[in-house]
Structure 1
Amino acid sequence: MFIQSLRADLPNMRWVPEDKFRVYAQAIRGLLTLEPDPERQLKYIDFIDIYSTLDDNEMREYTERYPQESTAMATLSERLRQEGHHQGEVDVIIRQLSKRFGKLSDSDVARVRSATPEELAIWAENLLDARSLEDVFTRH
């Protein structure tokens, strides 16, 4: 719903230069309020950026004027980067386990997908000298 409204309104909005930061901040607030999905939020921030056309100097000034909105988007971006990194580790370990021990059962795949970063780190080390799949999951 947010994006349909944004697509319809943002390109047609006219503002005086003095209101540019306020309009941008309102668009960010609307995005954070109306769109619950963090991945979509990140996607839609690009759309807001395209139509607001803040240059680097203006973005720095915006960050100073609206630290709460800037912090919220930076936190969202960092969280998504961490989730992407974690997903990459999961994918690598699944591939390595499959190559070493053959096709994994659905429960083993689920186990790796639900692992904490700490578990993944231990399993990655265990994988180097494990003789069985169970050795990977139980040895420390």
Structure 2
Amino acid sequence: MQDALGSGYRRLDLPLKVEWPDGRRAAVLFVVEEETEPRNFSIHCLAHYCLDLADLLKTTRVVPVVVFLRRGGFARSLNLGDDREEYLSFRFIACELARLPAEDYFDSGNIVARLNLPNMAHPKEQRLRVYDHAVKGLAGLETDRHKQGKYLDFIDAYADLSEDEVARYRAEYYDDEGGKTMGLAAVLREEGREEGRQEGRQEGRQEGQQEGRQEGEAAILLKLMALKFGPLPAAVEERVRRADAETLLAWSGRVLTATRPEEVVGD
């Protein structure tokens, strides 16, 4: 699709074509774009996207949607014409997350809503509660470990908890079953990242930063394995500490299904 639109193509977050297999309705193209700062939004560019895609796919069934992460003003419609007549009228569906009450979506079965809880409206004193509902929603609604990791990064980035808040979360929201929830994984991941950052700062070199991040990821995996299996064999710990980042990521996906630590680090 990018090649077909040529050099003037401007990347969208998600052009989504919805079709009905039984043919009872014509396909609908949803043009979805995310904009963090409303002041950076250009309704002219969005209209251009929609016209280009409509021409490419030979359809007029196009629904433009813009998701705004923060509050701010933006143009809601575009009307072209002169004093006598209007020749083009364009508008879109605006989803302003910062105006949606987070509490209304705490128990939502929609994973997109749960992941975006930190972007919704909530009092500052509710930040940890909002974060907890987000990570527990992820744990309950997404079973793919690789996707869990990616989506957890999304929650972490937008929640942006301070070190004090992470400590409070650890104290107030751990469960009693050894912490086998995404919430615990989030805290352990943050601990690992901090270890990596500290190592990088101490070394003061890029090599040290990379090594620190890798040690942090290894620390996360070892803690998760110890929670599930108890004390680990020395040989298993050694393999984890020597593994590269890509291998550690692959092994982390095995923790929930493995019955003994050797299965996690097995070939």
After TM superposition, the score normalised by the length of structure 2 is 0.28
Question: Greater strand share, 1 or 2?
Answer: 2
**Structure of higher CA gyration radius:** 2
Higher RCO (Cα < 8 Å, 6 or more apart): 1
After TM superposition, the score normalised by the length of structure 1 is 0.49
Question: Greater helix share, 1 or 2?
Answer: 1
